[in-house]
Chain A
């Protein structure tokens, strides 16, 4: 893992709880105490109603594939060894969409609308990425 060359997130004070939760293999996003919106990526104020009353909540990790592409050529040189790989947008059961990779399924089985579940990949000792696999 020491030779992990792909881009890694650089958490900020705002987003750190999300990445810390991922490291514990939990999916946490923000929830607005005023308007009830679930929010991803992490914000400082609710982007729907501008309230500051944001709480971190653990969510189900359930979602559906909103769209996907199979990268047949690397989208960045560091992904060359992964080709072909699936880049997807997953719509979480709670509403927000998240950029991710689909893992644990055959390429020809990937479909829009497919139910998926979050899975956690410890890519370095510090960083865990949130990926999704078919239910």
Chain B
């Protein structure tokens, strides 16, 4: 049994990221994008019988899926929390498809919303894992920045990847963001020098290579391939999915430079029966510039170690020879807390539905999405396409 082609995304909605905390709560954001996504799919609230949501830093508690169901007054027959950090949104797609194929439900609302902090709710943010508090935090290895800096440094050591090559990712993605009115940083293009002259935060990573946490969220609706035929927009089918994990703190990763994207992407492409070279665009999770380079290598778009040269030699813009993060990526679009990975899935769907506006990749029919959580610790790769 395979879920290939068995389910499709038929509608979506996204909140334009906002700097800072604002006065919105995660549940407020979730309700607005859920309502808009259901309408976009041509459905009514009563049609939603599945719910996948994910932890919000800005409103953290146990029993979150029930909190969301109660807030929206949904009565799901299938509901759960997908807790894969930045890979949560991608992870929702195949879980929704599997639940539908198993006959557990028909229409799954997948929704994430989060705030910059806890000001709007006065709640406590979720704690970091206790073992990291014991063995990493005393040395300052705290949160994501230093973890990805350790990865970048090792990649530079093993393969000669340069700061200029890493900066190119941020530069090209910014060009895409300049065609995205919703992007947090979409008003002005940047140069390699701008990136390299921005402040070094955790050497070798500069400020403009690091995501900016913000407030935002998004939602999409997954339904069966059969029901998708009646949807108002072109359905975007799940053709392949793959997932991989195995470490939490980066010190315990088997490798710093060959990531779990490799098995996740291999599984996704195998299920879809296609190769990386068949993709019309890619939307790889981009918390940092190095994340994109390693993801492209491990997903098979170039050889291991050649990711730096690959991004340098290709035009990553929506009109380039290798469209990558056509919404600007999180680096320019913004990273709304744990809702961050939603933007990559939604942009892939937007492109495949032909709703990309000024930044539409012409003739796009198939694309690759990767969700990445923690410190390269949760990977979920998807192949999405239209018929």
Q: Which chain A residues have a beta carbon within 8 Å of chain B's beta carbons?
A: 6-12, 15, 41, 66-76, 79, 82, 84-85, 87-89, 97-101, 112-113, 127, 129, 131
A73 touches B199 (CB 8 A): yes
Out of B130, B139, B204, B205, name the residue touching A99 (CB < 8 Å).
B139
B203 touches A72 (CB 8 A): yes
A71 touches B140 (CB 8 A): yes
| B contact residues, total (Cβ < 8 Å) | 34
| Residue of chain B at shortest CB distance from A91 | B251
* Interface 1/0 per residue, B145-173 and A, CB below 8 Å: 11001111110010000000000000000
Complex Cα distance A135/B204, Å? 24
A75 touches B151 (CB 8 A): no
Q: Which chain B residues have a beta carbon within 8 Å of chain A's beta carbons?
A: 130-131, 133-143, 145-146, 149-154, 157, 199-205, 249-252, 256
Query: Which A residues are in CB contact (< 8 Å) with B149?
Result: 69, 87
Query: Which A residues are in CB contact (< 8 Å) with B249?
Result: 99
B131 touches A41 (CB 8 A): yes
Out of A15, A69, A127, name the residue touching B146 (CB < 8 Å).
A69
B145 touches A113 (CB 8 A): no
| Residue of chain A at shortest CB distance from B128 | A7
With A71-B146, A75-B143, A112-B154 in contact, do A7 and B137 touch (Cβ < 8 Å)? Answer: yes
Query: Which B residues are in CB contact (< 8 Å) with A76?
Result: 137, 140, 142
Complex Cα distance A39/B201, Å? 32
**Closest approach, in angstroms, between the C-beta of A113 and any C-beta of chain B?**
7
A69 touches B251 (CB 8 A): no
B140 touches A68 (CB 8 A): no
Query: Which A residues are in CB contact (< 8 Å) with B145?
Result: 75
Query: Which B residues are in CB contact (< 8 Å) with A68?
Result: 150, 153
Complex Cα distance A97/B255, Å? 11
**Closest approach, in angstroms, between the C-beta of A82 and any C-beta of chain B?**
8
Q: Which 6 A-B pairs have the closest CB atoms?
A: A69-B149, A70-B203, A67-B154, A7-B137, A112-B157, A67-B150
Complex Cα distance A69/B199, Å? 15
Query: Which B residues are in CB contact (< 8 Å) with A112?
Result: 153-154, 157
Complex Cα distance A60/B252, Å? 20
With A68-B150, A99-B249 in contact, do A41 and B138 touch (Cβ < 8 Å)? Answer: no
B202 touches A99 (CB 8 A): no
| Residue of chain A at shortest CB distance from B202 | A69
**Closest approach, in angstroms, between the C-beta of B111 and any C-beta of chain A?**
32
